[in-house]
Structure 1
Amino acid sequence: MERHSIPRILIPSSSEGRVTRRLFLGGVLGAGAAAALAACAPAGKSDGGGGGDLRVYSWSEYDDPENLDGFTTKQVLVDSYSSNEEMISKLVAARGTSGYDIVIPTGVFIPQMAENELLEELDLSRLTNFEKLNPAFRGQAWDPDNTYSVCKFWGTTGFAYDTQVIQRELTSWEDFVDAVKNEASGRTALSDDPGEICAILPFIKGWNQSTQDPAELEQIRTFLVDELAPHISAFDSAPGGGAIPQGSQALVHTWNGEARRGILASPDPDRWKWVLPTPETNLWMDNWAIVKGAENIDAAYEFIDYSLAPEAALLNTEYVGYGTGIDGTEEAAREAGVERLEMIFPTEEETQRMYTGEINEAQQVRMEIVAEMKARAGA
Structure 2
Amino acid sequence: MKSVLRRLALALATVCMIGAGPLHAFGEGGGDLVVFDWSGYEDPLLHPAYTTKYGAEPTFAFFGDEDEAFEKMRAGFKADIAHPCSQSVVKWREAGMLQPLDTSRIAGWKDLNPGIMAMKDLAVTADGKAWFMPFDWGNTSLLYRTDKVTADEAQSLRIFADPKYRGRVTIGDNVDDAYALASLVIGLKDWTKMTDAQFQEASAFLRDVHKNIRFYWTDDTDLNQAFIGNEVDLVWGWNETYVTLKGQGLPIAMNRDSKEGISTWVCGYVVMKDAPGKLDEAYDFLNAVNAPAVSDYLVKTFGYGHGNGAGMAAIDHKVLADRGFDNLDKFLDKTLFQQPVAPELKQRMVAEFEKIKAGY
TM over 0.5: yes
- Matched residue of 1:166: which SS? coil
Whole-angstrom CA distance in 1 between matches of 2:193 and 2:19: 31
Q: 1:318 to 1:244 in 2, by over 3 A?
A: same
Q: 1:196 to 1:249 in 2, by over 3 A?
A: same
Whole-angstrom CA distance in 1 between matches of 2:215 and 2:295: 32
Q: Which residue of 2 aligns with 1:56?
A: 35
Whole-angstrom CA distance in 1 between matches of 2:99 and 2:328: 35
Whole-angstrom CA distance in 1 between matches of 2:92 and 2:132: 11
Q: Which residue of 2 aligns with 1:244?
A: 227
Q: Which residue of 2 aligns with 1:197?
A: 178
Q: Kindly state the Cα deviation for residue 99 of structure 1 after the two structures are TM-superposed.
A: 3.0
Match of 1:110 among 89, 109, 113: 89
- Contact residue 199 and residue 210 of structure 1 kept, 8 A: no
Q: Kindly state the Cα deviation for residue 69 of structure 1 after the two structures are TM-superposed.
A: 5.5
Whole-angstrom CA distance in 1 between matches of 2:19 and 2:335: 36
Q: Kindly state the Cα deviation for residue 212 of structure 1 after the two structures are TM-superposed.
A: 4.0
Q: Which residue of 1 aligns with 2:7?
A: none
> What residue identity is the alignment partner of 2:329?
E
- Aligned counterparts, 1:38-77, within 5 A: 40-43=23-26, 52-62=31-41, 64-68=43-47, 70=49, 71=51, 72-73=53-54, 74-77=56-59
Q: 1:228 to 1:150 in 2, by over 3 A?
A: same
- Contact residue 31 and residue 58 of structure 2 kept, 8 A: no
- Matched residue of 2:143: which SS? strand
Q: Kindly state the Cα deviation for residue 37 of structure 1 after the two structures are TM-superposed.
A: 6.9
Q: 1:291 to 1:182 in 2, by over 3 A?
A: same
Q: Kindly state the Cα deviation for residue 187 of structure 1 after the two structures are TM-superposed.
A: 1.4
Whole-angstrom CA distance in 2 between matches of 1:176 and 1:358: 23
Whole-angstrom CA distance in 1 between matches of 2:218 and 2:233: 15
Q: 1:132 and 2:111 equivalent?
A: yes
- Contact residue 245 and residue 252 of structure 2 kept, 8 A: no
- Contact residue 62 and residue 320 of structure 1 kept, 8 A: no
Q: Which residue of 2 aligns with 1:371?
A: 354
Q: 1:182 to 1:167 in 2, by over 3 A?
A: farther
**Stretch of structure 1 that moved more, 271-280 or 152-161:** 271-280
Q: Which residue of 1 aligns with 2:255?
A: 275
- Aligned counterparts, 1:327-346, within 5 A: 327-334=309-316, 338=319, 341-343=322-324
Q: 1:309 and 2:291 equivalent?
A: yes
**Stretch of structure 1 that moved more, 318-327 or 109-118:** 318-327
- Matched residue of 1:293: which SS? coil
Q: 1:359 and 2:317 equivalent?
A: no
Give a deviation string over 1:277-318, Cα, whole Å, max 9, x none.
Answer: 233332221011111211222101101111111112322332
> What residue identity is the alignment partner of 1:352?
D
Give a deviation string over 1:162-189, Cα, whole Å, max 9, x none.
Answer: 11111342454xx332354244320111
- Contact residue 26 and residue 59 of structure 2 kept, 8 A: no
Q: 1:371 to 1:66 in 2, by over 3 A?
A: same
Q: 1:67 to 1:216 in 2, by over 3 A?
A: closer
Q: 1:107 to 1:201 in 2, by over 3 A?
A: closer
Whole-angstrom CA distance in 2 between matches of 1:323 and 1:131: 17
Q: 1:154 and 2:137 equivalent?
A: yes
Structure 1 vs Structure 2: percent identity of aligned residues? Answer: 20
Q: Which residue of 1 aligns with 2:73?
A: 91
Match of 2:243 among 260, 265, 278: 260
Q: 1:347 to 1:290 in 2, by over 3 A?
A: closer
Give a deviation string over 1:190-242, Cα, whole Å, max 9, x none.
Answer: 022112212323212223434542222222233222x2212111111433642
Match of 1:235 among 207, 213, 216: 216
- Matched residue of 2:297: which SS? helix
- Contact residue 108 and residue 142 of structure 1 kept, 8 A: no
Whole-angstrom CA distance in 1 between matches of 2:87 and 2:299: 22
Q: Name the TM-score, length of structure 2 as normaliser.
A: 0.81
Q: Name the TM-score, length of structure 1 as normaliser.
A: 0.77
Whole-angstrom CA distance in 2 between matches of 1:330 and 1:283: 17
Larger strand fraction of residues: 2
Whole-angstrom CA distance in 2 between matches of 1:256 and 1:40: 31
Q: 1:216 to 1:137 in 2, by over 3 A?
A: closer
- Matched residue of 1:157: which SS? strand
- Contact residue 245 and residue 263 of structure 1 kept, 8 A: no
In structure 2, runs of 5+ residues without a counterpart are 1-16
Q: Kindly state the Cα deviation for residue 90 of structure 1 after the two structures are TM-superposed.
A: 1.0
Q: Kindly state the Cα deviation for residue 255 of structure 1 after the two structures are TM-superposed.
A: 2.1
Q: Which residue of 2 aligns with 1:20?
A: none
- Contact residue 313 and residue 329 of structure 1 kept, 8 A: yes
Q: Which residue of 1 aligns with 2:101?
A: 122
- Contact residue 157 and residue 281 of structure 1 kept, 8 A: yes
Give a deviation string over 1:126-165, Cα, whole Å, max 9, x none.
Answer: 1122122232232421233461111101112211101111
